[in-house]
Structure 1
């Protein structure tokens, strides 16, 4: 004879435990996303002409000029200058 009451309470207990674990993981993930967003915001405000930068794709360059609010001219090799969005910059290389 199967005791269905025990099976149901076990399932409910497991569901509650999984829900609590999910909430904890969500809170940790949200905190990490806020920190990353703050870090990128600081990178975008600290950029200036002459800064060495790294793109999101891993390419390094030096800012030659800033055109408008969203575009940068970046020298990636001697005499090779490209125009990029400032939001493609991942970090400023110190």
Structure 2
């Protein structure tokens, strides 16, 4: 019975070590992905200009009319304007190039 207990202990240590290594790898991978996403949004928010077509939270599309500090005025359709936070903007819509 002594040999069986040693084998179980050794197997448990190996499994714990593998889980620890996998956890560290996942943590490093997640940090890299978050860093890329953070840089993308910093660039996006720094490049906002009036006249750009954007998409903001909830998938609502509009056109930037004015930017004052962190507040952006967006026209979502004729006569309808919303004041939103610049940080709620998720994407700048690319203009389609004529072929």
TM category, shorter: over 0.9
TM-score (norm 1): 0.95
Q: How do 1:7-86 and structure 2 match up within 5 A?
A: 7-67=8-68, 69-86=69-86
Question: RMSD of aligned C-alpha atoms?
Answer: 0.9
**How far is the alpha carbon of 1:30 from its aligned partner?**
0.5
Q: Which runs of 5+ in 2 are unaligned?
A: 95-99
SS in 2 for 1:50: coil
**TM-score when normalising by structure 2:** 0.90
Alignment partners' CA distance in 2, 1:56 and 1:23 = 32
Query: How many Å apart are 1:56 and its aligned residue?
Result: 2.3
Larger RCO, structures 1/2 (Cα 8 Å, 6+ apart) = 1
CA drift of 1:8 comes to: 0.5
Query: How far apart, in 2, do the equivalents of 1:81 and 1:55 lie?
Result: 14
Q: How many residues are matched? A: 93
